């Protein structure tokens, strides 16, 4: 990020020539030619989340890592989930959280399994002593240029179980442990409002997440538990080179008014705001971080 005393043109910030790159899913940060910025050298905490305990799914890389880092530097202890092939990325997230002086617990496994989701919540309660912040962030996508005709049932099932079922199971399991003042933050997407044809199934799940957020927020408001969603636009994470054709990776984010993809470090502050008391009168809402792409 720029020096706080000098303005920075957001169209130039982070701009770089993307080297062509492709990976196999789920993607690995260490193998990316252009490494994402998670805020390692830029995020400065101010005690907004001192003493809080956060459960973050998909915290090994991308937006999840940036949120884990920001939360830790704001004073929270972190438990995050990851898939076993992402062990190297998970170790780096642990290092970043521990370097911030906070506790880090990394839990591998498949969130498509309801029993694993329930076990993750038990681990958070046991290892952190409770849960104050639940961030449902883990997601899967696979671009299909042929749209619906190229999406088979196995892919549809994987996308929905990762993006929707796991969110539902984790929230349901965590709810008995969430006291008044706790928050649930779900990662949706601009795809919920402006879907790309090649990401039809992914966009469907992101629309479901928006609806889930609104419905749950009304259910839990009287209990003092707030529920909101962050809707990112095109953000540069390992998921992109791992799930999109090379041409789309090269052009990724250039269609936004700001003309570039966003970085995870540019999304994390929205999660900090929604987790903190600064947003105490906000529930059932969406914050878009889209590089200027408009949403209804």
126 touches 65 (CB < 8 A):
no
| Residues 6 or more apart whose Cβ sits within 8 Å of residue 149 | none
Annotated catalytic residue: which of 82, 140, 202, 271? 202
**Residue 14 a catalytic site member:** no
At 228, phi and psi to the nearest 5? Answer: -140, 175
Return the active site residues.
Answer: 202
């Amino acid at each position: 990020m720029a020096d706080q005393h000098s303005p920075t043109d957001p169209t130039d910030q982070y701009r770089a020539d993307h080297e062509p790159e492709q990976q196999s899913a789920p993607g690995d940060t260490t193998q990316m030619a252009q490494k994402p910025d998670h805020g390692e050298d830029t995020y400065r905490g101010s005690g907004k989340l001192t003493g809080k305990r956060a459960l973050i799914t998909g915290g090994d890389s991308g937006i999840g890592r940036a949120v884990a880092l920001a939360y830790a530097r704001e004073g929270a202890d972190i438990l995050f989930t990851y898939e076993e092939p992402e062990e190297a990325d998970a170790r780096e997230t642990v290092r970043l959280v521990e370097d911030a002086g906070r506790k880090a617990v990394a839990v591998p496994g498949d969130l498509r399994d309801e029993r694993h989701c329930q076990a993750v919540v038990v681990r958070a309660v046991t290892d952190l002593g409770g849960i104050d912040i639940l961030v449902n962030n883990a997601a899967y996508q696979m671009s299909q240029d042929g749209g619906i005709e190229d999406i088979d049932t196995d892919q549809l099932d994987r996308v929905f179980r990762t993006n929707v079922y796991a969110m539902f199971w984790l929230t349901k399991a965590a709810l008995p442990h969430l006291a008044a003042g706790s928050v649930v933050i779900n990662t949706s997407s601009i795809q919920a409002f402006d879907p790309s044809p090649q990401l039809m199934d992914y966009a469907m799940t992101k629309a479901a997440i928006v609806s889930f957020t609104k419905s749950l927020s009304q259910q839990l408001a009287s209990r003092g538990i707030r529920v909101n969603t962050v809707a990112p636009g095109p953000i540069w994470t390992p998921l992109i080179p791992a799930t999109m054709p090379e041409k789309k990776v090269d052009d990724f984010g250039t269609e936004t008014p700001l003309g570039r993809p966003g970085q995870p470090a540019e999304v994390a502050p929205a999660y900090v705001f929604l987790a903190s008391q600064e947003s105490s009168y906000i529930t059932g809402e969406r914050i878009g971080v889209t590089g200027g792409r408009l949403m209804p």
